[in-house]
């Protein structure tokens, strides 16, 4: 299902400049609020920026929430990353990243751009989740991991008008939840990236590419074997070289 609400983007003239300026207000405001230590207000501003989701009849709210979920996941995650840097320079860098997302990535409607949106949304949300809630209850990590995986998969699959999009998204969400439940008992980090985030991002991107190639009749046996081999190799390397003695239970 395509989003019920679309942003009308001016293409030239003063209207275009005004549109860009208004878009850039949000990253700038979030940066200022985080610098002033008003993190809750910054999070609230991200949510309130999506007020148009509810400017329709209530029966459309669920569809609008799903259509805007990736944008919300990225925006809220950016605030979390800003809050954990402790440096004005890095906070400004994350604000710039958010501006690039709003201006260049989010408006994209091609298959590669929507694939990038789904991948970045899942990556950002999972990274922020395990960065802030690594010691949270297992059921919370499991549920939110599954939810983020489901929303990312649904965003990607809706591009192809896949008749089984909902079912496939639930399968990926269930897989993400199951992996989170298993690995949350031995939660490992590589720098600032949690093991579930790394594995789900690797597998998710690989499966998305395989689906895209198959959908366009470009998936040969050789290509499929190469992708599967690469994904399994990465997973095995991550698992084999993990220090399972250094864990968060």
- Helices 88-100, 61-83: axis angle to 10 degrees equals 150
Confidence of residue 5 (pLDDT cuts 50, 70, 90): very low
Distance CA 198, CA 89 (A): 26
Cβ neighbour number for residue 9 with a 10 Å cutoff: 12
- Cross-strand pairs, 189: 194
Percentage of the chain exceeding pLDDT 70: 90
Between 21 and 77, the more confident residue is 77
- pLDDT of 136 reads 87
* 135-178 confidence digits (pLDDT tens): 889 999 999 999 999 999 999 999 888 889 999 999 999 999 99
Q: What is the structure's pLDDT at 190?
A: 82
Model confidence, pTM: 0.86
Between CA 91 and CA 95 the distance in angstroms is: 6
| Residue 95 CB coordination number (10 Å) | 23
Question: For the segment 167-224, what is each residue's pLDDT rounded down to a tens digit?
Answer: 999 999 999 999 999 888 888 888 788 999 999 999 999 999 889 988 888 888 888 8
Give, as one character, the DSSP assignment of residue 52.
G
Amino acid 117: pLDDT: 96
Alpha carbon distances (Å) from 37 to 24, 74, 127, 215:
20, 20, 21, 47
**What's the average model confidence in pLDDT over 234-239?**
78
Segment holding 189, helix H or strand E: strand 189-190
At 26 the pLDDT is 92
Q: What is the mean pLDDT of residues 114-142?
A: 94
Query: Please, are residues 200 and 149 in contact by the beta-carbon 8 Å criterion?
Result: yes
> How many Cβ atoms from other residues are within 10 Å of residue 50's Cβ?
16
Residue 109: helix, strand or coil by DSSP? coil
The burial class, CB within 10 Å (0-12 / 13-18 / 19+), for 183 is buried
Place of tokens 């789900």: 200
pLDDT of residue 131: 93
**Above 70 in pLDDT, residue 52?**
yes
Q: What would the pLDDT profile of 55-81 be if each residue is shown by its tens digit?
A: 888 888 888 888 899 999 999 999 999
Comparing 116 with 57, the larger pLDDT belongs to 116
Rounded-to-integer distance, Cα 142 and Cα 64, Å: 24
**How far apart, in whole angstroms, are the C-alpha atoms of residue 133 and residue 118?**
22
Q: Is 45 a residue whose pLDDT tops 90?
A: yes
Structure confidence at residue 216 (pLDDT)? 83
Tell me, what's the pLDDT at 142?
A: 96
- pLDDT given at position 203: 92
Domain chopping of the chain, boundaries: 7-107, 109-249
Average pLDDT for the chain: 87
DSSP calls for 190-203 = ETTEEHHHHHHHHH
Measured distance CA(76)–CA(134) in Å, rounded: 17
Element (H, E) at 86: none
With a cut of 90, say whether residue 237 has pLDDT above it.
no
């Amino acid at each position: 299902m395509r989003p019920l609400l679309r942003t009308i983007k001016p293409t030239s003239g003063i209207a275009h400049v005004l549109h860009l300026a208004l878009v850039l207000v949000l990253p700038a405001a979030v940066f200022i609020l985080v610098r002033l230590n008003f993190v809750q207000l910054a999070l609230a501003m991200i949510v309130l920026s999506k007020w148009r989701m509810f400017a329709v009849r209530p029966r459309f709210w669920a569809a609008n929430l799903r259509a805007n979920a990736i944008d919300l996941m990225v925006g809220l995650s950016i605030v979390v990353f800003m809050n954990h840097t402790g440096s004005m320079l890095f906070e400004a860098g994350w604000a710039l990243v958010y501006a690039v997302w709003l201006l260049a990535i989010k408006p994209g409607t091609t298959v590669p751009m929507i694939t990038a949106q789904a991948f970045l949304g899942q990556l950002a949300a999972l990274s922020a989740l395990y960065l802030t809630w690594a010691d949270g209850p297992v059921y919370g990590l499991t549920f939110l991991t599954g939810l983020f995986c489901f929303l990312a998969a649904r965003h990607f699959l809706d591009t192809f008008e896949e008749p089984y999009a909902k079912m496939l998204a639930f399968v990926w969400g269930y897989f993400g939840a199951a992996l989170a439940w298993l690995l949350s008992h031995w939660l490992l980090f590589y720098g600032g990236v949690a093991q579930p985030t790394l594995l789900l991002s690797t597998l998710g991107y690989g499966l998305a590419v395989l689906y895209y190639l198959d959908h366009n009749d470009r998936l040969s046996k050789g290509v499929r074997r190469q992708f599967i081999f690469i994904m399994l190799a990465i997973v095995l390397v991550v698992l084999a070289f993990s220090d399972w003695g250094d864990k968060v239970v």
